[in-house]
Chains A and B, each alone.
Chain A
Amino acid sequence: SQKIEQNSEALNIQEGKTATLTCNYTNYSPAYLQWYRQDPGRGPVFLLLIRENEKEKRKERLKVTFDTTLKQSLFHITASQPADSATYLCALLNAGNMLTFGGGTRLMVKP
């Protein structure tokens, strides 16, 4: 069966460090992968989309990598700030062409 796995345990890091979140998937051959941010009580907010032929994509302090051989995406936030604290979701198109989300990883950035 198709699975998207994100670390369900919260990631705690110190302000100014780089946060790295992992998204692993099985039984998908996605054309692209997306990352979202979700704050408590709010809807997810789209951050980045990376296509299968792209190895890396950057947007300001965010960097996403996509390794279709390892079936893994890494999401990096450099120079992290307390305002970056949120839950981060990865999402893939499944075989039915529907976007399927991982369970998300909660990031806590401490001052």
Chain B
Amino acid sequence: NAGVTQTPKFQVLKTGQSMTLQCAQDMNHNSMYWYRQDPGMGLRLIYYSASEGTTDKGEVPNGYNVSRLNKREFSLRLESAAPSQTSVYFCASSEVGRGYTFGSGTRLTVV
């Protein structure tokens, strides 16, 4: 069982570059999420999608956009990367009232 797959695992960007983080789940979950994790800040929700075709802002959405491509895939786009977006990004999926399944993360450095 693959669970939640994130690509890439590592990425270095220059300030102002754009990129898309990919996430796919094979558990037929309705809900998907993007979090970032920074030292001393814990996990913070960027965007989420309660079901296919819907997306909503989380706690820290500025500088990001998302696309729920289908039930399996939920991508996160940085249009113009900034050093403040250096972080570890986690994608997760779940059903309502259940625990989340997380991917292994993308380590992004913006220089």
Contacts and interface: CB of A to CB of B under 8 A. Distances in A.
Interface of A: 31-32, 34, 36, 41-47, 49, 89, 98-104
Interface in B41-95: 41-43, 45, 48, 58-59, 90, 92
A31 B96 CA distance: 12
Contact of A44 (B40, B98, B100): B100
Contacts of B42: 89, 101-104
Nearest to A35: B99
B90 A44 contact: yes
Interface residues of B, number: 22
B40 A103 contact: yes
B40 A98 contact: no
B98 A45 contact: no
Question: 8 nearest interchain CB pairs?
Answer: A46-B99, A43-B102, A101-B43, A103-B42, A44-B102, A43-B90, A101-B42, A43-B104
Contacts of B101: 46
Given A43-B104, A43-B105, A98 B90 contact: no
Contact of A89 (B43, B48, B103): B43
